[in-house]
Structure 1
Amino acid sequence: MIEAPVGFHCPVCVNEARRRRPTQRTQFGAKVGSGRPLVTYAVIIACALVYAVQLIPMYLPGGAALPNITGLFAYAPAYTSEWFPQFEPWRMLTSSLLHSPSSAVHILFNMVALWFIGRVVEPAVGPLRYGLLLLLSALGGSVAVLYLSDPLTPTVGASGAVFGLFGALFVLLRSTGAQTGGLVALVVANLVIGFIPGLNISWQGHLGGLITGVVAALVISKAPRRNRGLWQFVGLAGVGAVLLALTGIGAPLVALPV
């Protein structure tokens, strides 16, 4: 028996009552109090480890003989073009785990932004939706690079995924009636910085990730309450299908450098 404020309760009855109790969920379908933002932590750790591997050829004695991770997994539109000898479409995603080895500021900004925004968005939407949001935003950034960047210019960085989180946070805040003025100013400022010549920032990846994050968050926030999870995942799958279709359409359009 389990002692209660008034008398004792049968353990079987208590467990049955707990089982029947509805699971509390957030406005967007995540379990309330689902724990730490483990996906955010995992992505930050993965990016940090990959960055350490990127630095080895530059600073470790004899490191020049090791594989160049940056060169092997960075993305340029040529890698999804029919005229280029290396067809490696997976680079559209692997590039988001890489950062410029010559600039610690690059990875530092992205990881700090991921730390602050991820700890808000992940508990609100749940780890699975959050992981899909990051994945789609990273892919969306690469799709924009495919259409808008030089075919042979490699692009690296988690910025597309981070800007996707910016866009998602805007949509989620608007859905709850919260103020978004400060967030909009921050996003606009960072988008503008990407257009400054000489900084070598992929504004294309930023823009593509931002748009994808907004669309994915709209799918999550506007899904009908009945069968909400099913509608959300079908909608996110649809966003992924559109990105893949855009990749298939854009790849043959990549011009051969003269």
Structure 2
Amino acid sequence: MGNLRRALLSVTLVPAFALAQTPAPAPAPALAPGEGLSIASPERGVRSYGDALAPGPMGPLAHLLWVRLEGDAWASAAGSFKCTGKAGPFTCSAPKGHGRVDLPRALQSGCSLALLGWAMMSADQWRQIYGEGAARVRMLEIFAPFAENRVPPGEDIPPLDMTWFGEGDRLRTSPDALARWLADPAQEEVLRLYRRLFLSFIDETFKKNAWWYDAVEAPAPGGGTRAWVVGGNGLVTAVLRLPPGATAAQARARFMAILVGR
């Protein structure tokens, strides 16, 4: 009997111990109609709530893709760009321009014109280093999942214009898809750089789990705009999308209320 009891205990206790190591399901956040939220963490993977699966134009969140491709090089160069609101045929989201911006300021203010200028210089370098065809492959390795069949055909680097920085609907994603992309270990440097650029020195240095976030307004299907927020605290990364008509400021407030609790 003693051996049988020990055998039964070993059968029942091992599963109980295993269950104790499994994180308890997190409560679903309270979302308003039309809101979509996806949260990625190493322990739980990606969890999506509300209207998080439908794709739509990603707007200035396209800057994440450029940071993935060239962010370290641009940050190391410590260059600047004078945004006057217009450069040749291209116009900025700020009609009067953003003034002189470096990479942190360009990302924080959503200055796509600055990123376009730097990307054009990078493209010239790619051609010299890799050749036209390999440079195209290098760029589309990052952008193809978001552009799909909206990539111009050819063997050269696609012509760079504002659609590669969030104008129109060339680049599309959903909160779920973007959270899964950010959760890939290949994007660790993107998250590290965004955390460094969007947090103050004090918060980055002394607040281990401080939240950084970037709120943007993207084109909405049928016209108008809709707001997105992407952010993280070193433990989780989250993507929130609000219904059409919401502003970036409203999205920022909702993100803080849902995820940060204030």
Give the TM-score, by structure 1 length.
Answer: 0.22
**More strand by percentage:** 2
**More helix by percentage:** 1
Give the TM-score, by structure 2 length.
Answer: 0.22
